[in-house]
Structure 1
Amino acid sequence: MSSPRYIISRVVDPIFAVFIGLSAAATRINREEKEKGRTTQQTLDTFRRRLGFPKSS
C-alpha cells in the first residue's frame, strides 16, 4: 500500500478544498443574482442582513 498523496500538505489540502468550494458557491450565487437584476453590492447587503450584521454604509 502506498502512502497518501497530497497536493500541498496534509493540513493545507482540506483548507484549500473549503476555500475552493466557498469560492465556487459565491460565484454561482453572484451570477444567479445578476440574472435577477441585482448588483453585487445588493447581494452582499442581503447576505449580511440575513447573517445579522449591521448594514454597511
Structure 2
Amino acid sequence: MSAPFLISKALDPVFAVFIGVSAAAMRINREEKERGKSTEQTIESVRRRWGLLVGGGKKDDGVS
C-alpha cells in the first residue's frame, strides 16, 4: 500500500508548486540559452514581463 502523502497533507501542494516553478524556470533558461541569451538577460526579461503582468502594462507618465 502506498503512503497517502509524500511529505504531509499541508506541504505536498507547496512542494508540487515549487517543483513546477523550478521545472518551468529551467526550461525557459535552457530555451533562451539556445537562442544565444545569457542567464542575466533571461532574468531581466522575466522581470520585465512579470512587471507587465502585475502592473497591468500601464506606465506612469506623470500626468494626473
Find the structure with the greater CA-based Rg: 2
Quick one: percent identity of the two aligned structures? 60
Q: In 1, distance between residues paired with 2:6 and 2:50?
A: 33
Q: In 2, distance between residues paired with 1:51 and 1:18?
A: 18
SS at the partner of 1:52?
A: helix
Match of 1:8? 7
Do residues 45 (structure 1) and 44 (structure 2) align? Answer: yes
Give me the TM-score of the superposition, normalised by structure 2.
Answer: 0.73
- The structure with higher relative contact order (CA 8 Å, sep 6+) is 1
> Structure 1: 5+ residue runs without aligned partners?
none
Give me the TM-score of the superposition, normalised by structure 1.
Answer: 0.81
Q: In 1, distance between residues paired with 2:29 and 2:43?
A: 9
> Structure 2: 5+ residue runs without aligned partners?
53-64
Question: How many aligned residue pairs are there?
Answer: 51
Look up the equivalent residue of 1:23 and give its one-letter code: S
Give 1:6 deviation, angstroms.
0.3
Give 1:9 deviation, angstroms.
0.3
Match of 2:56? none
The alignment's C-alpha RMSD in Å is 1.7
